[in-house]
Amino acid sequence: MWVLCHMELRDMLQSLQFDNSFVRRLPADPEVGARRRQVHKALYSRVAPTQVKSPRLIAYSREVTALVGIDEADTAAPHFAHVFGGNVLLDGMQPYAANYGGHQFGHWAGQLGDGRAITLGETLNAQGERWELQLKGAGPTPYSRTADGRAVLRSSIREFLCSEAMHHLGVPTTRALSLVATGEPVVRDMFYDGRAAPEPGAIVCRVAPSFIRFGNFELPAARGDTDLLRQLVYFTITRDFPELLIDGVPPIAEAQHAAWFMTVCERTARLVAHWMRVGFVHGVMNTDNMSIIGLTIDYGPYGWVDNFDLEWTPNTTDAENRRYRFGQQPQIAYWNLTRLANALLPLFATDALLQAGLEKYVQTFDATYREHIAAKLGLAKCSEDDVEMMHSLYGLLQSAEVDMTLFFRALSGVNPAAPDLALFAHAFYDERKRTAAAPDFTAWLCRYGARIQADALAPDARVTRMQRANPRYVLRNYLAQLAIERAEQGDDTGVHELLEVLRRPYDDQPGRDAFSERRPDWARERAGCSMLSCSS
Ligand code: AMP
Ligand code: MG
């Protein structure tokens, strides 16, 4: 392992303070380096990023530079791309890959681990906040199995943009500091049809308080290593859930473990309720892709709902069973929590407290879902009747193929005394379906108009509430794809434009109508626009 520290670099990024608690406090694999192996009795392996040919900064998030305490001016220096392309380690960085397992598509998959993610270190900013910096696509690790540890530009653009878009939408997520082109090709068989081809490579530096996943707990549990499991739980509670700590009492008692599991259940419930609110489909909700602190993590073949469809999955690998379809995400999150509960069972005398946590998931999801219904429809509070009204709307949107984002955004413009379906003409994908569904929609709008006239919320407050819950701009799959195609031709401005627009998803942005239009017909069946392969 090497540390290279130019004077210039030291000056530039000198404000970064590292406090690498994960590597300091948890057991390491004694072997250093990327030799592929099964790693027992250790939660991570020390491994450095592999150098790349010519790192070039494509984009960065100014909010995230501020968050971790990097001076925005530093991003302009060529060294910045070297650091966040993995060529240079700063003083204080201690790179590692985490060891975890997971259930993939419902089946236990054994050891997975960070196969292409390498954490550089944990920074502490001036406010004392901890932000872990992790490169994705930084080269092989012991967990890379048969793969190359790299990432292609298209998937890196998607991860970079969506991380930031989700944050600005108010959805808990890992963040993205930078997107760096490596200058090296990466070979991928994008359609899994034997036509492997080189594509440009890239590296995203993602940022979060913690990258621990459900799968980090599942692996030691599956191996019967209760000591290691216990150490990880202790570490996670003390570092990532300080609000649960009672002064001077180490979190080792069953009651403390139970309170923690319950908090994980609550956070997961709120996370998934947000996904349902904004029309986000994760696409690969395997337990290794579930964050223990309730963030959206691992942006792969995710997608945004255009025409409302609870059956839709963007992931081609999942096309047959649709396990991870839009409408099933709440149930899958619950199932994933049952896997986590099962892993934690050795720390409990009986499963009663874990069951209580799972019950809390159901309650929290239900309560949050109702809050979101109230906000999306512009109601002071959501009654049983309102839930039914929303579900009947979902039925209409689905069968008439209506754009989710456009419909809800337009809904705040309804005149409750005289609702008019013409307001929604731009949200329909199929004219014939629109004509056929018009009477049902009109009836629904009349019901809705009567409901909001009877509601306690004043009209102005209602519109404001709705416009904070129903975004105008989301990262539609085809928009990301257009930016990707431009970037692959050497033009990064599409990425910059999207990043800028998505910083204010709830504001009407004059001159930016092109970013809030429904999916064009050409994008309906095109790769990258409706269906995505896992190849990344
Ligand atoms: P995912 O479905 O993207 O969450 O990936 C599942 C597992 O495969 C994780 O352990 C990843 O680190 C690993 N993986 C995915 N792509 C690569 C790659 N190109 N090189 C090495 N490991 C990878
Ligand atoms: Mg993953």
Shared-domain flag, residues 403 and 345: no
Of 170, 186, 211, the domain-final residue: 211
**pLDDT surpasses 80 at 7:** no
Distance 271 CA to ligand 2 centre (A): 17
Residues 13 and 142 in one domain: yes
In this structure, which residue's CA is closest to atom 12 in ligand 1? 115
**Contact 115 CB / ligand 1 (< 6 Å):** yes
Question: Is 461 domain-assigned?
Answer: no
Q: Is 34 in the pocket of ligand 1 (CB under 6 A)?
A: no
pLDDT in tens, 384-393: 999 999 999 9
pTM listed for this prediction? 0.97
Q: How confident is the model at residue 77 (pLDDT cuts 50, 70, 90)?
A: very high
Q: What's the pLDDT at 449?
A: 98
pLDDT in tens, 17-76: 999 999 999 999 999 999 999 999 999 999 999 999 999 999 999 999 999 999 999 999
**Minimal-distance CA residue to ligand 1 atom 14:** 115
Same domain for 199 and 264, yes or no, is no
For residue 285, report the distance from its CA to the centre of ligand 1, in Å.
14
The pLDDT value given to residue 411: 98
Please give the mean pLDDT across all residues of the chain: 96
Domain membership flag for residue 339: yes
Catalytic residue among 240, 288, 386, 455: 288
Q: Is residue 494 helix, strand or coil?
A: helix
- What percentage of the chain carries pLDDT values higher than 90? 93
Rounded to 5°, the CA angle 158-211-359 comes to: 100
Residues 368 and 431 in one domain: no
17 lies in the same domain as 155: yes
- The reply to whether 465 falls in a domain is no
Instruction: Give the nearest ligand 1 atom to 117 CA.
Output: 12
Nearest by Cα to 261 from 161, 197, 320, 338: 338
72, 130, 131, 166, 499 from 69: Cα distances, Å: 9, 11, 10, 21, 20
Q: Residue ranges of the alpha helices (H) in 78-213?
A: 78-84, 153-169
Does 365 lie in the same domain as 224? Answer: yes
**Nearest-angstrom CA–CA distance, 386 and 189:** 47
> What is the reported pLDDT for 9?
63
Whether 434 is in a domain gets the answer yes
* Residue 9 or 380, more confident: 380
Catalytic annotation present for 288: yes
Mean of pLDDT values over 214-224:
99
142 Cβ below 6 A of ligand 1:
no
For position 445, what pLDDT does the model report?
Answer: 98
pLDDT reported for residue 10: 58
Nearest CA to ligand 1 atom 23: 115
Domain boundary among 163, 178, 211: 211
Q: Which of 166, 159, 286 is nearest to 214 (CA)?
A: 286
CB 532 within 8 A of CB 477: yes
Domain boundary among 165, 181, 211: 211
Is 2's pLDDT higher than 70? Answer: no
Site to substitute for ligand 1 among 288, 296, 536, most atoms within 8 A of C-beta? 288
Whether residues 197 and 320 share a domain: the answer is: no
Number of structural domains, the chain?
4
Whether 1 is in a domain gets the answer: no
Q: Are residues 237 and 200 in the same domain?
A: no
User: Are both 243 and 282 inside the same structural domain?
Assistant: yes
CA of 294 to the centre of ligand 1 (A): 20
333 & 193 share domain: no
163 & 228 share domain: no
Do 20 and 110 have their domain in common? yes
Largest Cα–Cα distance of the chain, in whole Å?
72
H-type alpha helices, 173-250: 214-222, 226-240
β strands within 469-522, DSSP E = none
Single out the residue of 444, 442, 441, 433 nearest to residue 399, CA to CA: 433
* Enclosing domain of residue 231: 215-374
- Counting atoms of ligand 1 from 1, which one is nearest the CA of 300? 3
Residues 154 and 495: their CA atoms lie apart, in Å, by 11
